[in-house]
């Protein structure tokens, strides 16, 4: 039975970032993945590294920290994962929506987000193909994007170069224990012992925690993304309808959607977004696809003449208070959690990974992790 300082369950954006930063802290690392790296959530999303859609103070702080890592100490890796600092444009189509956006921006500015208000003329100068039915908007210069599968591949590669071990097609079936303390995992390919076990199972984190007798209130939230044929450049930023802020922060289970449009380096256009909580069901996707298509064409009318050539959906790890869950489990000693990032996993991965690695190595974290602690759910009586 192999042993390591830290065993990470899940090789997606979060798990790979935890693995990389743990090796940077000098820890011996093992990663077990039920399928293949970036095979689920990390390959089914849009790759946003956004600050514009953040409204909660702790998440804003985490997003800013993560952005600083991508820009600074991880900047040499940018080409490996197609990192692009393009800026984000938020668009309001009505006066009421614009007033709501102004209110959100006032709060964001107090929390340190850089944002520039745009009148209709400025908005159309940045995005000439926008519908004429706009009331105004805002520019977030720090919004960026990357390719999550490439990021996962590179971070795991770097971790392995520093001694980490990766086991794919290895499903966790149970936990090893010494009394009440978790000391490793049982898997479809044998047992692995570890000083600490990190649950980075994405939308499956709740199921993983249950195997250990813990409670992590993460559910799958399904989201679709559409891809068009290659076309002439007509979208120059990551453009979102202001309603996106409401759908991101909503706790409704029913289908919701708001327009998010961006051009890819391949000249295809990525269209989003939708959200719905319906378990791990793959049924009923046409409604989401139709909603995304309508919203995108309303914001950019030229898209009515551009063919959609593909669609994909994935399950994002939904957290009931819309904050990630990062830190030691409150009930099960030896178990740690790094999950609940919903659709922001790629953007928050670097920060989440480094902070958790610092704590696991015994170093003080660069940010206070208390707002993300799994212990915050105990007061609700939600411990199984």
Among 156, 252, 162, 145, CA closest to 200: 156
pLDDT at position 244, please? 76
Q: What's the Cα-to-Cα distance from 214 to each of 178, 192, 357, rounded to whole Å?
A: 16, 19, 21
pLDDT exceeds cutoff 60 at 381: no
Residue 247: pLDDT band (50, 70, 90) is confident
User: Could you tell me the pLDDT band of residue 378, with boundaries at 50, 70 and 90?
Assistant: confident
pLDDT tens for 68-114 read 999 999 999 999 999 999 999 999 999 988 999 999 999 999 999 99
The structure tokens 């696809």 sit at 289
Is residue 384 very low, low, confident or very high in pLDDT (cuts 50, 70, 90)? Answer: very low
Tell me the percentage of the chain whose pLDDT exceeds 70.
98
Chain segment 6-34, per-residue pLDDT in tens:
999 999 999 999 999 999 999 999 999 99
Classify strands 29-32 and 136-140 as parallel, antiparallel or unpaired. Answer: unpaired
The pLDDT-based confidence of 379 (bands split at 50, 70, 90) is low
**DSSP E strand stretches across 53-149:** 84-85, 88-92, 116-118, 136-140, 144-145
Q: What is the DSSP letter of 276?
A: B
Query: For 153-162, b where at least 16 C-beta lie within 10 A, e where not — what string?
Result: bbbbbbbbee
Mean pLDDT taken over the chain: 95
Record the pTM.
Answer: 0.95
What one-character-per-residue DSSP string does 231-244 give?
--S---SEEEETTH
Closest alpha carbon to 188 in 35, 332, 41: 35
Q: What angle do CA 156, 342, 312 make, to 5 degrees?
A: 80
For residue 222, is pLDDT > 70? yes
User: What was the pLDDT predicted at 66?
Assistant: 98
Taking CA atoms, 168 is separated from 10, 30, 31, 259, in Å, by: 9, 11, 8, 36
Better pLDDT: 67 or 249? 67
Joined together, the tokens standing for residue 197 give 């076990």
Give the three-state DSSP class for 107: helix
* pLDDT exceeds 70 at position 61: yes
List of residues 6+ apart from 72 with CB closer than 8 A: none
Q: Please give the C-alpha separations between residue 86 and each of 66, 190, 238, in angstroms, as whole numbers.
A: 17, 45, 7
CA distance linking residue 296 with residue 294, whole number of Å: 6
Task: Give the dihedral of Cα atoms 307, 313, 319, 320; nearest 10 deg.
Answer: 70
Instruction: Give the model's pLDDT for residue 125.
Output: 96
For residues 272 and 225, is the Cβ–Cβ distance under 8 A?
yes
Residue 314: which pLDDT band, with cuts at 50, 70 and 90? Answer: very high
CA distance 254 to 271: 20
Q: Residue 383: which pLDDT band, with cuts at 50, 70 and 90?
A: very low
Is the pLDDT at 62 greater than 80, yes or no? Answer: yes
Q: pLDDT tens-digit profile of 331-373?
A: 999 999 999 999 999 999 999 999 999 999 999 999 999 999 9
Give residue 245's pLDDT: 79
Predicted confidence band at 382 (pLDDT cuts at 50, 70, 90)?
Answer: very low
Of 284 and 351, more confident: 351
Across the beta sheet with 256-263, the strand order is: 116-118, 136-140, 88-92, 238-241, 256-263, 269-275, 219-228, 308-318
Dump the DSSP string for 283-342. --HHHHHHHHHHHHHHH-GGGGGS-EEEEEEEEEEE-TTSS-EEEE-SSSTTEEEEE--G
Q: Report residue 251's pLDDT band, with 50, 70 and 90 as the boundaries.
A: confident
| pLDDT beyond 60 at 380 | no
What is the pLDDT, as a whole number, of residue 159?
98
Indicate if the pLDDT at residue 160 is higher than 90: yes
Average pLDDT over residues 327-333: 96
User: Is a pLDDT exceeding 60 seen at residue 195?
Assistant: yes
281-284 contact pairs (CB < 8 A, 24+) = 281/222, 282/313
């Amino acid at each position: 039975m192999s042993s390591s300082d830290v065993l990470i369950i899940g090789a997606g954006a979060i798990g790979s970032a935890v693995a990389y930063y743990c090796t940077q802290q000098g820890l011996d690392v093992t990663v077990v993945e039920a399928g293949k790296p970036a095979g689920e959530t990390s390959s089914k999303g849009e790759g946003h590294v956004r600050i514009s859609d953040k409204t909660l103070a702790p998440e804003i702080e985490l997003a800013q920290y993560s952005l600083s890592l991508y820009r600074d100490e991880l900047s040499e890796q940018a080409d490996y994962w197609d990192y692009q600092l393009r800026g984000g444009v938020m668009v309001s189509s009505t006066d009421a929506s614009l007033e709501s956006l102004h209110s959100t921006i006032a709060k964001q500015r107090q929390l340190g987000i850089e944002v520039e208000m745009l009148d209709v003329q400025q908005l159309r100068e940045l995005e000439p193909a926008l519908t004429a039915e706009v009331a105004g908007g805002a520019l977030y210069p720090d919004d960026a994007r990357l390719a999550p599968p490439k990021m996962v591949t590179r971070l795991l590669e770097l971790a392995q170069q520093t001694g980490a071990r990766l086991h794919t097609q290895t499903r966790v079936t149970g936990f090893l224990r010494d009394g009440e303390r978790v000391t490793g995992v049982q898997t479809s390919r044998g047992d692995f012992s570890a000083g600490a076990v990190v649950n980075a199972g994405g939308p499956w984190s709740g199921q993983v925690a249950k195997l250990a007798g813990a409670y992590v209130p993460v559910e799958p939230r399904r989201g679709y993304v559409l891809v068009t044929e290659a076309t002439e450049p007509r979208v120059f930023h990551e453009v979102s309808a202001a309603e996106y802020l409401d759908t991101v922060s909503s706790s409704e289970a029913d289908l919701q959607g708001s327009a998010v449009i961006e051009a890819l380096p391949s000249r295809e256009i990525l269209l989003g977004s939708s959200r719905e909580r319906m378990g791990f069901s793959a049924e009923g996707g046409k409604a989401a696809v139709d909603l995304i298509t309508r919203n995108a064409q309303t914001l950019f009318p030229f898209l009515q003449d551009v063919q959609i050539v593909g669609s994909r959906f994935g399950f994002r790890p939904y957290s009931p208070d819309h904050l990630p869950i990062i830190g030691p489990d409150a009930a099960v000693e030896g178990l740690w959690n790094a999950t609940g990032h919903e659709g922001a996993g790629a953007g928050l991965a670097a920060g989440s990974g480094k902070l958790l690695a610092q704590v696991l190595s015994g170093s003080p974290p660069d940010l206070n992790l208390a707002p993300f602690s799994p212990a915050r759910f105990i007061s609700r009586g939600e411990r199984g």
